Amino acid sequence: MAEKTPEKNLLSMQLDLSKFNSYMFKKASEEEKKQQDVMSESTTFFKDGMKKLMKNPLAVGSIIVLGLIIAVIIFAPLFIPYSYEEILSVDGVRDKGAKNLRPFEYSKLEQQYIEAGGTRFPHIFGTDEQCRDYFIRVIYGTRVSLIVGFFASIIVLIIGMLYGSISGYLGGRTDMIMMRIVDIIYSLPDMLIIILLSVVLQTILKFRPGSLLDALGTNMISLFIVFGMLYWVGMARLIRGQILSIKQNEYILAANSIGAPTGMIIKRHILPNCISVIIISTALQIPSAIFTESYLSFVGLGVQAPMPSLGSLANAARGGLQNYPYKLLFPALMICLIVLSFNLLGDGLRDAFDPKLKK
């Protein structure tokens, strides 16, 4: 106790420490001070969640699988010399023998060409009944299915987020009316309405030829419209529930009391706090959108031919099932792999970021 106790200033309100005996107020020793040091690095909510996620082998596995699939669908078309709608030809001559080839098989014309010294890229998955390279079709089908799943989820997310946050934040009568609308849409049988709308939208939607919308095809657009109209309700409900509980917090009261505008409060304080719920449910939305798309394609309401999607490829493969079962196997495996990975990733995200949400 070499250090002296601080002296009391005259007129100050502080305790005069010299009046107390030393064991009541002891200065902290170096060792005791050290105990107060923060040992581990300070982590953010996001870092903490990522660390937990990376410890989950299933989630890491599905991230790797998804990464591989995405890499393949981006880079494979760059070095495969066929396109998804191209009917095979050798040296400018239509190759009529290249029908329903088995994986890595060449047609007679191609074999002659190779024997004559030409090089020909192998048909990794064989060809289909219209002499098109099947591998590139599966790749494009995966692209289409993933794009549909991804964008449908984004649409659902945006509409659901806006609707849910407005409804939850405003509360009262507005909330009641908005939620009754959600109740009604929620109780509509989604698949039936989707089919109904797709049937009709396909006949009435017309786009300017050559525009971006036209290139996507009416079926794809009607898919997005249908998703945007029906599937946002689940997301809206979820976000409204989150907001109702976040709204009780003191910092919202504080923001209100200094006169922050509503939109600002929603954007700055409320949405960042329900971001984990949003990410998790979006991750789980993607596989369900891919499922729905594949069903629609299967029923004949999916993307426009010659553009393939995994569902329409699987549907087309049913025709020659007995002789070419692998044609069903490739797109089917792809769907399963994608859906499985997204499901596992979603579960992992939920466990890592929001253990409370676990059902």
What is the 8-class DSSP label of residue 129?
T
What are residue 280's phi and psi, to 5 degrees? -60, -45
Instruction: Check if the beta carbon of residue 156 is closer than 8 Å to that of residue 228.
Output: yes
Q: What is the 3-state secondary structure (H, E, C) of 261-272?
A: CHHHHHHHHHHH
Nearest distance, CB of residue 38 and other proteins, angstroms:
35
- C-alpha dihedral over 20, 21, 27, 32, to 10 degrees? -120
Q: Which is nearer to other proteins, 19 or 358 (CB)?
A: 358
Nearest distance, CB of residue 352 and other proteins, angstroms:
18
- C-alpha dihedral over 311, 189, 245, 270, to 10 degrees? 50
Q: Which is nearer to other proteins, 71 or 196 (CB)?
A: 196
Interior/surface letters 19-45, b for 16+ CB within 10 angstroms, e for the rest:
eeeeeeeeeeeeeeeeeeeeeeeeeee
Nearest distance, CB of residue 68 and other proteins, angstroms:
17
Q: Which is nearer to other proteins, 330 or 353 (CB)?
A: 330
- Greatest Cα pair distance, the chain, in angstroms, is 108
Nearest distance, CB of residue 314 and other proteins, angstroms:
6
Q: Which is nearer to other proteins, 282 or 341 (CB)?
A: 341
Nearest distance, CB of residue 118 and other proteins, angstroms:
37
Q: Which is nearer to other proteins, 88 or 352 (CB)?
A: 352
Positions touching other proteins (CB under 8 A) are 183-184, 187-189, 191-193, 195-197, 199-200, 203-204, 287, 291, 294-295, 298-301, 311, 314-315, 318, 321-322, 325, 328, 332, 335-336, 339-340, 343-344, 358-359
Q: Which is nearer to other proteins, 114 or 184 (CB)?
A: 184
Q: Which is nearer to other proteins, 17 or 337 (CB)?
A: 337
* C-alpha–C-alpha distance, residues 169 and 166, integer Å: 5
* C-alpha–C-alpha distance, residues 321 and 45, integer Å: 51
* C-alpha–C-alpha distance, residues 353 and 86, integer Å: 46
Task: Centre a 10 Å sphere on the Cβ of residue 228 and count the other Cβ atoms it contains.
Answer: 17
Nearest distance, CB of residue 301 and other proteins, angstroms:
7
Nearest distance, CB of residue 94 and other proteins, angstroms:
31
